[in-house]
Amino acid sequence: MPPEYHLESFWDDRFTKENHFEWLGDGSNTILPPIEKYLRTKRGHRPRVLHIGAGTSTFSSEIFKLYGQHFGDNKVEEGLIVNTDYSEVALERGKTSEEGKNKWICWERTDLMSWPDIQTLKRTQLFEIVVDKSTSDAISCNEDITFEPSKTTPNNTCPLVATYIANNPDSVLKLEPVELLALHIATLVRPGGIWVALSYSRYRFDFLVGVGGEKEEHVVTCIKILGARGSDRGRCTVGVAKGGSVCTSSAAFCICSSENR
């Protein structure tokens, strides 16, 4: 039985006692290299960063240092890095921390499984980089999410899921938590942006093209987001895989490809 990592109460209790913790290490040799590679493709443009499930991590400071190396410290945009967490305790601690006092970082309380919460994150400009230090692992501990036509509306459901339900009114759709996370993240990221995920499991993203293989711990997956759109036939496309192929999940969604590191 996995820990109750999917419950807000679990994290509220943990963060009440915990001052600082970095899941799967400090990220210097795992998360930062793909981000640095992406930044080398940018000239004079600072991509916005979404750090999901930030908790008590101070990894945002390391990202900001990397930005300073590439772009300099001048003209830093307010809210350049957005830390999100499920826990109100983490949110309040983050806001009062040293890094939380800087204008380049802000905190948002976000349930990544909630479409209304995702819409709140979309109220400003889109992101180009999503940082995920084992948050996908925690979310995967939850049960599959069931979407019933009678309870699914455009206001409470991701448009891609709502479109599928509308075109299949007699069916009940079931998604794994990380599948729904992928669909939500795709709506938050500019085409060409990346989702850099560090996971305990090489099979965390086995519904994506090109992911899987030999067993290996602490795997970094750099997922390229090519956009989110719906088709006339009710088939919802989140992205096109590297090399032109696509991957179809049980929900008839196409998910973008990835690069393993």
Q: Which of 136, 46, 121, 119 is nearest to 83 (CA)?
A: 121
Q: Which of 125, 122, 134, 138 is nearest to 51 (CA)?
A: 134
Residue-averaged pLDDT of the chain: 76
The pLDDT tens digits of the residues spanning 134-182 come to 899 999 888 999 998 888 888 899 888 888 888 888 888 889 999 899 9
* Local confidence band at 20 (pLDDT 50, 70, 90 cut-offs): confident
Q: What is the CATH number of domain 8-260?
A: 3.40.50.150
The pLDDT tens digits of the residues spanning 186-243 come to 889 888 888 898 888 877 887 765 544 444 455 666 676 654 443 322 223 333 222 2
Residue boundaries of the structural domains of the chain: 8-260
The pLDDT tens digits of the residues spanning 157-168 come to 988 888 888 888
**pTM score, whole prediction:** 0.81
The pLDDT tens digits of the residues spanning 103-121 come to 788 889 999 999 999 999 8
